[in-house]
Chain A
Amino acid sequence: MEEKTFEPKITAFVCNWCTYTGADLAGTSRLKYKPNIKMIRVPCTGRIDPVFIIKAFEKGADGVLISGCHPGDCHYNTGNYHARRRWVLFTELLNYIGIDSSRLFFSWVSASEGKKFVDVVTEVTETVRKKGPFIQYHKINKEFVLDE
């Protein structure tokens, strides 16, 4: 029963110049995908801090997608290279803690890749859907009494 009604919550952090614009293109091309994903725009993948990802899980995300310009195409020259190196460390760290690649996704989607954007989003949505709700994080979220 649970599985049929489960709609994963997916938070995405995307760069302004490539993936966000690629999502625009998916729209203007009238491509279709599931509405599970909600995007937060940042100027560059270099701006993305791992605390964003942790906070997204704390706010109930079942999966997180990070996406930006292809290597060499960064609007800010090197932002995505610096980001990529930190992601290597961060994915390994989260994987070690128990948040693996079925919860946390990375992609390069350029402004001209509306189709790829849809493919990535669909794959992410379906992978998380199959994996099911992130019950471990939901559990510690639920136990938490807001101190704000």
Chain B
Amino acid sequence: MHEKTFRKACADSGLNPFLCEIANLREHCSWVHEDIVEGTKKAIDLVRIAVERVKRNVPLSPIQVPVTKKALVIGGGISGIQASLDIANAGFDVVLVEKQPSIGGHMSQLSETFPTLDCSQCILTPRMVEVYQHPRIKLLTYSEVENVEGFIGNFKVTIRKKARSIDESKCTGCGLCVQKCPIKKKAYNEFEEGLAFRPAVYVPFPQAVPNIPVIDRTVCTYYQTGKCQMCVKVCGREAIKFDQEDTLITEDIGAIVVATGYKLYTIDKKPDAQEIKGYGEYGYGKYKDVVDGLQFERIASASGPTSGEILRPSDNSVPKKIVFIQCVGSRDESKGFSYCSKICCMYTAKHAMLYKHKVHDGEAYVFYMDIRAGGKGYDEFVRRAIEEDNVKYIRGRVSRIYEENGKYIVKGEDTIAGMPVVIDADMVVLATAITAQPDAVKLAQTVGMSYDKYGFYNEVHPKLRPVEVSTAGVFLAGACQAPKDIPESVAMASAAASKSLVLFGSDLLEREPTVAKVNESICAGCFYCQKVCAYNAIERKEIKDRQGNVVKVIASVNSGLCQGCGTCNAVCPSKSVELVGFNDEQIYAQINALG
């Protein structure tokens, strides 16, 4: 309990702090035992144990490892953008990797944001441009992190830059190829959440950063039949490169910020199939006018497929009655996910408001379980929807939705009135759960993060270390850790950035010297140590003879990664790996002292 204090006192007086050992007589003896004679005997024993240990302590000095002052940010949504800008503005290099062709993430899809109703793109786009133009940020879009090796301050990261089929150095972003591409009504438009189509060569959205198209090889006629090449003909810069290949880029990195965001629960109806398939009874994917939250964002967005007019996807008519359903998949262990998706209460209120602002005679109903509007100005926002905009809130669940005479019959229950409710709606918006990215687990294994059963990344400590993961030098930002709204994501991103900056604040990193050490002369190389190491700190080392032939492969401890738990020491049958500071001789002597 007071080890740190006393070790520091030792260091201050010129003694190596690791020669200090504590027999905790106060907490473990004098305060807990009433029998003075027996207690004193025990105290003597405890001192004896400590003496035997300290006799075998050796002076240790902290392990120093150099720090590469460059950060990797994975994910170019608002969290990744914020973290990148913070780190870069502090004067350090950043590599920002985004899987999609453009940065911006989900925030670029949103219409207006709660609780102020300011335009999402208006506040995001300048940040995106800032990233693009920042001299310290290297932006790699349409790229994915393939491999991470090394340890805090010294990661070696391999990034796969997928082939855009466009020469980025030549493309000016004029957009002619996009305009002339004959594939117009085939490709699933990810940005519009399937509410519109896009050509085979496309820029995801007008404000995309970088403004460079990408060719979708799965739909492009050239890749299917070898013909067409319309884009080649119209491109004045010879920027179309059909034979472009993926390239692998390696970077030396000191700190990693993971900001990979979320995916909406799609009830198994969109291209990415999920394991959980609950709520099929709402007809999502079957009825065109039953949409999810992001689809409604696009419908309400001035840049969306309807230019901001609220129109039904099925027939472009103005819906006079919309039902919003919250908690579709959230807070439902039996059919969905046990957690609360946190932002749905707020965005549903926003959606209902936006609708009422645009369709004055329209009716908006919200089915809710509870209203969770914690946050500055949040509850007031929901009250405004109810009181000023007349949105009708019904506490209860919806059992079923079916089509009848062009209407969607929503059957539910009002649990406050204790009555069944039937609404003949023109349109239904489902606040589907926020889920982890489908490939979250893969990235977790690549980077070395633990994750919960839903694929959200685990922080080391839920209260005191909320942005760090168990692998030192890796930090979390945004919804990849748990569902989060924009201000929270941005705050977390800045926190992750400042954690990275703390690391970059010194040239050398000091680490506890109580790490494992291999006795190379007797290690037989069974690698049980490697299997039990939670930190990938055990490496394989080849021992060669003079001719260069490998005579054996043995374990070697990367002291930059080792955290000193000693599990390797315990599983090593021959004790060829020992934990400095808690080695076998010390513990043996301590047990002996009790004899």
B570–A47 CB distance below 8 A: yes
Beta-carbon contacts under 8 Å, B580-595 to A: 582, 584, 587-588, 590-592, 594-595
Interface size on A, residues (CB 8 A): 42
**Known pairs A27-B27, A76-B565; A60 contacts B571 (CB<8 A):** no
B32–A47 CB distance below 8 A: no
* Proximity bits, A76-118, B CB within 8 Å = 1, else 0: 1111001100100000000000000000000000000000001
**In whole Å, how far is A21's beta carbon from the nearest beta carbon of chain B?**
7
A40–B590 CB distance below 8 A: yes
The 8 Å CB contact of A27, one of B28, B470, B535, B584, is: B28
Interface size on B, residues (CB 8 A): 42
Residue of B nearest to A61 (CB): B594
A38–B46 CB distance below 8 A: yes
A47–B567 CB distance below 8 A: yes
Distance in angstroms between the alpha carbons of A9 and B42 in the assembled complex: 11
Mostly, the A contact residues are: mixed
Contacts of B39 in A (CB 8 A): 35
The 8 Å CB contact of B532, one of A38, A46, A49, A60, is: A46
B41–A35 CB distance below 8 A: yes
A28–B31 CB distance below 8 A: yes
B571–A82 CB distance below 8 A: yes
A26 within 8 A of B: yes
A27–B26 CB distance below 8 A: yes
B29 within 8 A of A: yes
The 8 Å CB contact of A59, one of B27, B579, B594, is: B594
A23 within 8 A of B: yes
Contacts of A35 in B (CB 8 A): 29, 33, 35, 38-39, 41-42
Beta-carbon contacts under 8 Å, B33-73 to A: 33-35, 38-39, 41-42, 45-46, 49
Contacts of B46 in A (CB 8 A): 38
Residue of A nearest to B573 (CB): A49
Residue of A nearest to B27 (CB): A27
A33 within 8 A of B: yes
B566–A44 CB distance below 8 A: yes
Residue of A nearest to B26 (CB): A27
The 8 Å CB contact of B591, one of A27, A55, A76, A78, is: A55
Instruction: Contacts A34-B38, A38-B42, A86-B570 known; list 10 others, CB within 8 Å.
Output: A23-B27, A24-B24, A30-B32, A32-B33, A38-B594, A46-B532, A49-B570, A60-B594, A76-B563, A79-B534
A-B contact pairs, 13 of them (CB 8 A): A24-B28, A30-B32, A31-B32, A35-B33, A43-B566, A44-B567, A46-B566, A46-B567, A49-B569, A52-B591, A59-B592, A61-B594, A78-B532
On A, residues with C-beta under 8 Å from B are: 7, 9, 11, 21, 23-28, 30-35, 38-40, 42-44, 46-49, 52, 55-56, 58-61, 75-79, 82-83, 86, 118
Q: Which 4 A-B pairs have the closest CB atoms?
A: A27-B27, A46-B567, A47-B566, A59-B595
